[in-house]
Amino acid sequence: MIKVREVEFDDLKPVFQLGHHLFRASAFPILYRNWDEYEILDRFMSDSQFCLLAEDENGELAGFIIGSVIKKPKSSWTYGYINWMGVNEKFQGMGIGKKLYNSLIRRFKRNGANMLMADTSPKNMDALKFFRKRGFNKEENHVYLFKNLKG
């Protein structure tokens, strides 16, 4: 049985470690945002109600989703934004991502969000498939330029 709940302070280290494993530089060499302890801590400190994890009956971390709500001044739109989402490889294919996503969406709606945003690498086919299956269809292409300064 998988349970979804809010991340607590003592969960930050295992969530960070799972994300560090999933978002490793060898798999995503040019992420425009870095997976680091400061971003996770910042989201937890400012938007803890949108930081969720899934665990099995033994308390093993199955996955997490970290979001935030963005209210633009002078705009009628309030955005729910999925910052990070990851599922432990051991639990993939068991509907964990769907449970986390649905739990976060309910929280976004209760907090006035009327638009949902997520981003991923165009090469992350698993994420694209996941989000498209949930009705995301207004894809925008962004250009991020990188230059290696070593050497």
Q: SS3 of 89, please? A: helix
Which superfamily, per CATH, for 3-133?
Gcn5-related N-acetyltransferase (GNAT) (3.40.630.30)
Q: What is the pLDDT of residues 111-142, one digit of tens each?
A: 999 999 998 877 788 888 999 999 888 777 76
Mean pLDDT for the stretch of residues 42-49: 93
Mean pLDDT for the stretch of residues 140-149: 66
Angle, alpha carbons 51-65-2 (nearest 5°): 100
CB 68 within 8 A of CB 84: no
Alpha-carbon distance of 88 to 100, in angstroms, equals: 13
Mean pLDDT for the stretch of residues 38-67: 94
- 65, 73, 85: which is closest to 126 by C-alpha? 85
What are the structure tokens assigned to 48, written together? 């803890």
For the whole model, what pTM was predicted? 0.86
Cβ burial 31-46 (10 Å sphere, 16+ → b, else e): eeeebeeebbeebbee
